[in-house]
Structure 1
Amino acid sequence: MYASSPQSSRRDADDPQIDIVALGIVTAAIILFVATGSAIGPAVVRSLAGEGPGPDNFLLNAFLLNIAIIIFGWSRYRELCEEIIEGRAAEREARHLAETDSLTGFHNRRSFNHSVEALIDRAVTDGKAVAVLMVDLDNFKQVNDYNGHATGDRLLVECARRITAALPQNTVVGRIGGDEFAVAMAFDRLQSEGVDRTAAALVQAIAEGSRSSSTTIEVTASIGLARAESRTTSAQALLEMADVAMYHAKRQGRNQFSWYEPQMAHEMRFRADLEAGIRAGIPRGEFVPFYEQQVDLQTGELTGFEMLARWDSPQFGIVAPDIFIPVAEEIGAIAELSRSVIAQALEDARLWDSRLTLAVNISPIQLRDPWFAQKLLRMLVEANFPPQRLEIEITESCLHQNLGQVRTLVTSLKNQGVRISLDDFGTGYSSIGQLKQLPFDRIKIDRSFVSSMLDDEDSAAIVKAVATLGEGLHMPVTAEGIDTQDVLDRLRQYGSITGQGYLYGRPRRAAELGEWLSEEGPADMPVPQTPQAPDTQQAKRA
C-alpha cells in the first residue's frame, strides 16, 4: 500500500562533477608529491649518511608544501562529500514534504494524481481496470465548530488509520482536501464486487464512534466511485467523476457509497444552477413567506400561523423548501435567507390581530451562531413586533448536536418573552428529561405520526402518549399534518390540542392572507367538513 509519497533516488547532475574536481585536485597533489619526493629523496638519504650535501631548498619547500596541499585537499574532499550527502537528504525531505500530506502521511492531491496515472498504465497493461473512491466525511465542519480544530485534526488522523486498515494491499491513498480522502485500486474488469466490499468496509469503519477527551464524536462518510478501463481516462477525470458520485451519495442520505453514472453530471449542473439561483435570489427578495393556519381543534378558532419559506424563482417557479433549504445550508446561505423571510414575516404579522401568533422554524445551523438570539431580538425591535407573539420552532436534532449552546440561546430568548416550541417531537434523539431541562412552551407532534395514526396503531399510540405528556407537563401540544376530517375527529378525543394541516387550507401568500383576515377575523374561522388532498410536493419546514 502506498501510505505516503514515493521517494526519488536521482542524484543531482552536478554532484559527480563536484566529486571529480575535488578528487582531481587531491590526485594532482599526490602525483606532484611523488615527483618531488623522488627528486629530493636520494639527496636526503646521502645527507643523513654524511656522504653529500642536503636536498635543494626550493625542492624541499615544494615537497613540504605539497604535503600540506594533500592534507588540505583530502579534508576539503571529505567536507564536500558530507555536504553532498546532506544536500541529497534535504532534497529528499523537500520532495517528501511537497508530495505528502503532513497530517496523515498520505499522498497529497498532486502526488496522488501522478500515482494514479502510473497505476492506470500498469493496470491497462495487465488487462485490469482502476477504481477511484472519493471519501468525504459528513458534517465534519461541525466537529471543528463544536470541538475545535485540534480535535478535528485528531479525528482526521484516526479516520486515516481506519482507512488504511480497511484497504487491501497495493492501493494508492491520499488526502486531497480538508476532510476529503481518495483511494485508487486496480481490479478485474469483470469483477467489481471487490471494490463494493472495500467501499462498504470504509463506510462501516469510519462510522465507528471516536472519543476525544471525554467526548464521543460521531462521524460518517459518503463515498463516490468511478472506474477507468483505458489510458484515455485521466486521474483528474476519475477524481471529478468520483466527486460527482460522492455528492449523489450525500443527497441520498449520506453514510453510503454510490458509483458514478452519466446522469449524475446533469444533477450536478442542476445543483450548480440551484446554488447560483439561491445566492442571487436572496438579495433580490425571491424568497418569500407563506403562512399555514394553526387552529384550536376543539373550538375551530384561529390561533396563529406558521411561516413557511418558498422560493419564487424566475427560473424554476415556486420551489418547495425541501429542495432549496438543504442546498442553502450546505453553501452557508441559510442564515441570510432565514433573516430575509423572517423579517418579511414580522412586517406581515405586525398588522394581524394581536391575538394571533407567528411561528418560524430555525435551522440547526443558525443555532450554532452564539449571537443568534441577539440578532433575532434586534429584528423584533426593528419590526416593532411584540416578542410574546413570536414562537420559534427547534427540531430535536438541534438538542442532540449542542445542548449547552441551545440552552443558552433558548434561555436568552425566553427572558425577552419569545416562546419556544420543540418541533418534530418523537423523530429525533431528545428524551422526556430534556423537556424539563429546557424551558419549552410547546410540543409539536410530527406529521408522520399524525397522518398515519388511523392506519398505524403505533403512530396512534405515540400521538396519544405525546398529548397525555403535554397535559401532564402543562405544556400545549400542536399536531401537524391534519389532512382529513377523520384525523381531526380522532385528535379531538385527546383533549385540548392545536392543529394545522391541509384540511384547513393550503399555505398562502401574505397578500392572500391579508384579504382573508380582513373578511373573516380570527374568531370566525370556518372549519371545513370535507378533506382536501395533501400536496405531497410541499414540505412544511422553512
Structure 2
Amino acid sequence: MSASRHIVAKTSASASFSGAAVAGGVLLLAAAIVLIQLGMDQSAKMLLSATAIAATLVYWRLPALSARSPDAEQIDPLTGLTNRRYFHDAGQGMIESVRRRHRGIALMLVDIDRFRAIAGSLGHETGDLLLRHVAKTIRDEAPSDAIVARFEGDCFGCLIPFDPRGRDRVERLAERLAIRLGQPVRLAEQELTPRAAIALTRIDDGTATIDRLVRQADLALIAAKARNDGKPLWFVPAMEEAMAERNAIITDLRAALAQGDIQPRFEAQVDLGTARLTGFEVSGHWEHPSLGTMTAERFMPVAEACGLSGEVSLSLMRQAMAAARDWDPSITLSIPLAASQFQDAWLAQKIIKTLTECGFPAHRLEIEITENALFANLALAQSIVISLKNQGIALALDAFGRGYSSLAHLRALPFDRVRIDPNFIRNMASDPDCCAIVTAIVHLGDSLHLPVAAKGVRDLDIEMRLRDIGCSHGQGALYGPPLDLAQVRQMLAEKRLLAGTTASAPTSPRLAG
C-alpha cells in the first residue's frame, strides 16, 4: 500500500470507527433504559458500566484516528506522505489530544546523509528513488497513530504519541530506522549505502507546541549531522547554546578566511622505531573575537555543514605548504579533508593547483581521508584519489576503526598508510579490548604491507606498547602540543631540519613541550 493510500485508508478507518462508536453507544444506552423500565436494575447497571468502559476506550483511541483528512495540496506528490503544512496543523491537533489524555509526544526528524551529492553525481532520478525508499521505510516502521511527513528536500518528520512510562518505544523505532536506512540498497542500477542523521525530541509535561518540538529536533539534527556516526540523537538543552555558537561561527567564518584569521597548527609525527621526526599533521586554529580560541574540532563541522570546509582546508594547505618549502625534504605534511570534499569532482584539480602555486613537492604531501568519505560515492572518491596518486601525493585512511571499518575499505583505494582512531590508543593501557583491537589493526596492516600510525599517544607506556606490536609511527601529546608557524620553525632550526642544515641525531622521543 502506498503512503498516500495509507493516509486515505487511515482516514476512512477513522470515520468508520467514529460512526460505529456513536451508534454503539446509542444502542447500549437505549438497552439500559429498557432494562430499567422492566425492573432489571442489576442488568441495567452492568450494561451502563460496560458503556462507560467502552466510552473510555473510544476517548483514548478516537483522537489518534480523527485527524482531518489531508487535502490534495497537502500530499507530497513524490513520496505520497503528507507535507509540512499538514504536519504542522494535524500535529498541533495531536498534541492537544494527547495532552488531555496525559500522554507524551515525540518528534523524530530523519535527514539523508549527503543527499545532494548523491543526486548530483548519480542523477535526480536516483535521488527521487532514494527519497521514496526512505519515505516507505519510515512509514513501514512508524506506528499506526504516528503522523509522517516529508518536510522538504531530504528531511522527513514523524510525530509519535506514546505512554510516558514507555518512552523506549520511540528510541527503539529510531534505532531500527538507523539500521534499515544504513543497509545497502540498489536503485536505478546503482548500489547505495545512504545512511541518515536521526534526531529526536520529546515533551511529556503538557507544554508542547509543534513549533517548539520542530525547533528542538532541528537543533538535535544539526548535532547528529556533526557527530556523523549514524546513531539517533536526543535533544538536550545545551544544544541551544551550541546553536548560538554555531550561528556566530557561520556569520564570521567567511570573513575570517578572507582576512587570514584561520591559521595552521602543526602536530608532530614520529617514527616510533627511531624517534625521528617525519612530518606534521596540519589542523586549523582560529582566535574568534567573541568565542575565543577555537581548534578545528570545534569549527570544522560547522564549516562542513555550511559548505565552507573545502575553502578552509585549501587555505590551511596553502599556508602550510608556503611555510614548509625550505624545511628538510624528509619532512611531510598530512592534510585531513572533510568527507564532503570528496563529493567535489574538482577536488584533485584544486589540490594540484595549490601544489603548483606554492611550489611544494607532491611526494611530501599526504591527504587523509576518513571512511565516511567513501560511503556516498565510492566511484567519485576513487577517481579523485587516482588523480592525486598520479601526481605522487600519498593517501592515508584516517581514524581507522571508527564505525564502519572493513578490509573492503582498505582494498577499495590505494592507501599508503592507516591511522588508528585515537580513542583506541588513549584507552590501550586501561582497556584490554582496545589493546587487542590496536594489535589486530597493526597485524592487518602488516598483512597488507601498509604502515600503521597511531594518533593520541600520550605517554611513554603507550608508545612502548605500540612499538612492541609493530606500529610504525605515532603522534600525540607525548611529542608536544600543536605548534604555530613560528614555533615549528624554531623547533626545526634547533634540530637542523631546515634546508641547508645537517640534521641532528634524535635524543628523545619528545620533540617539543
* Shorter-chain TM-score tier: 0.7 to 0.9
1:182-234, Cα deviation, whole Å (9 max, x unpaired): 334556xxx4245651453254146313442452534335133344876x865
- What is the Cα deviation at residue 236 of structure 1? 3.2
Q: Residue 172 of structure 2: which of 200, 203, 219 is its match?
A: 200
* In structure 2, C-alpha distance between the alignment counterparts of 1:510 and 1:474, rounded to whole Å: 34
Q: Residue 311 of structure 1: which of 263, 283, 286 is its match?
A: 286
* In structure 2, C-alpha distance between the alignment counterparts of 1:114 and 1:163, rounded to whole Å: 20
Are the aligned partners of 1:131 and 1:195 in contact in 2 as well (CA < 8 Å)?
no
Instruction: Answer with 1 or 2: which has the greater Rg.
Output: 1
1:45 match: none
Q: Residue 491 of structure 1: which of 457, 466, 471 is its match?
A: 466
Structure-to-structure mapping, 1:267-306, within 5 angstroms: 267-306=242-281
- What is the Cα deviation at residue 337 of structure 1? 0.9
**Distance change >3 Å, CA 388–CA 173, structure 1 → 2:** closer
Q: In structure 2, what residue type is equivalent to 1:490?
A: R
* In structure 1, C-alpha distance between the alignment counterparts of 2:427 and 2:203, rounded to whole Å: 44
Q: Residue 479 of structure 2: which of 499, 504, 513 is its match?
A: 504
Q: In structure 2, what residue type is equivalent to 1:200?
A: R
1:128-183, Cα deviation, whole Å (9 max, x unpaired): 56735142224152543454332232232233333333344454332222122233
Are the aligned partners of 1:2 and 1:170 in contact in 2 as well (CA < 8 Å)?
no
311-320 or 521-530, which deviates more: 521-530
Are the aligned partners of 1:200 and 1:256 in contact in 2 as well (CA < 8 Å)?
no
* In structure 1, C-alpha distance between the alignment counterparts of 2:255 and 2:451, rounded to whole Å: 40
471-480 or 176-185, which deviates more: 471-480
**Distance change >3 Å, CA 511–CA 228, structure 1 → 2:** same
**Distance change >3 Å, CA 184–CA 507, structure 1 → 2:** closer
**Distance change >3 Å, CA 276–CA 441, structure 1 → 2:** same
Q: With structure 2 as the length reference, what TM-score do the two structures score?
A: 0.74
- What is the Cα deviation at residue 372 of structure 1? 0.8
Q: In structure 2, what residue type is equivalent to 1:215?
A: E
Are the aligned partners of 2:193 and 2:376 in contact in 1 as well (CA < 8 Å)?
no
In structure 2, the gaps of 5 or more residues are 13-69, 498-502
* In structure 1, C-alpha distance between the alignment counterparts of 2:199 and 2:409, rounded to whole Å: 35
- What is the Cα deviation at residue 97 of structure 1? 3.9
Identity %: 35
- What is the Cα deviation at residue 510 of structure 1? 0.5
**Superposition RMSD in Å:** 3.5
1:516 match: 491
* In structure 1, C-alpha distance between the alignment counterparts of 2:440 and 2:103, rounded to whole Å: 57
**Distance change >3 Å, CA 195–CA 378, structure 1 → 2:** same
Structure-to-structure mapping, 1:28-107, within 5 angstroms: 96-107=71-82
2:338 match: 363
Residue 90 of structure 2 corresponds to residue 115 of structure 1? yes
2:111 match: 137
**Distance change >3 Å, CA 245–CA 499, structure 1 → 2:** closer
Query: What number of residue pairs does the alignment pair up?
Result: 440
1:82-123, Cα deviation, whole Å (9 max, x unpaired): xxxxxxxxxxxxx94432211223332223323234445555
**Distance change >3 Å, CA 116–CA 405, structure 1 → 2:** closer
- What is the Cα deviation at residue 432 of structure 1? 4.3
* In structure 2, C-alpha distance between the alignment counterparts of 1:241 and 1:466, rounded to whole Å: 40
Q: Residue 414 of structure 1: which of 356, 375, 389 is its match?
A: 389
* In structure 1, C-alpha distance between the alignment counterparts of 2:169 and 2:405, rounded to whole Å: 35
**Distance change >3 Å, CA 291–CA 158, structure 1 → 2:** same
* In structure 2, C-alpha distance between the alignment counterparts of 1:320 and 1:440, rounded to whole Å: 27
Q: In structure 2, what residue type is equivalent to 1:207?
A: I
**Distance change >3 Å, CA 389–CA 154, structure 1 → 2:** same
2:348 match: 373
1:345 match: 320
Partner of 1:102, secondary structure, is: coil
Q: In structure 2, what residue type is equivalent to 1:256?
A: P
**Distance change >3 Å, CA 459–CA 314, structure 1 → 2:** same
